[in-house]
Amino acid sequence: MCGAPKQGGALAGIDLSTQTVIQGQVWHDGAPVAGAYVRLLDGTDEFTAEVVTSPEGEFRFFAAPGTWKVRSLAPVGKGERVLDAGVGLNETTIVID
């Protein structure tokens, strides 16, 4: 499997003592954005993965410890956020102005 799975939902079965999970929501104008494209870029700004947000605007990545950029692209606009992730759960929100 290589396609992006359905976003959102519980982390059942995911071992947070080994996985570096980056997850959150995309917001615009006070509401979550469904169907937004969210991509994860590495420390050199190179593409690592892309998912489409759930009806609740959620996204989730499985990365590795380090600095990452999460960028969202939607018909309403673009937003991005840089974060330092560690092993375990790393949550962030991307706001599209």
The one-letter amino acid code at 18 reads T
Per CB under 8 A, which region of 25-33, 61-69, 89-97 contacts other proteins?
61-69
- C-beta closer to other proteins: residue 18 or 30: 18
Distant-in-sequence, close-in-space partners of 41: CB < 8 Å, separation ≥ 6: 47, 48, 68, 69, 70, 71
Q: Count the Cβ atoms, other than its own, within 10 Å of residue 42.
A: 15
CA nearest 53: which of 71, 81, 34?
34
Tell me how far apart the 2 most distant CA atoms of the chain are, in Å: 37
- Establish if 2 lies at the interface with other proteins (CB under 8 A): yes
Residue 74 touching other proteins (CB under 8 A) = yes
**Residue range at the interface with other proteins (CB under 8 A); choices 25-33, 60-68, 89-97:** 60-68
User: Which residues of this protein are in contact with other proteins, per CB under 8 A?
Assistant: 1-6, 14-15, 18-20, 22, 35, 37, 39-40, 42, 44, 46-52, 60-64, 73-75
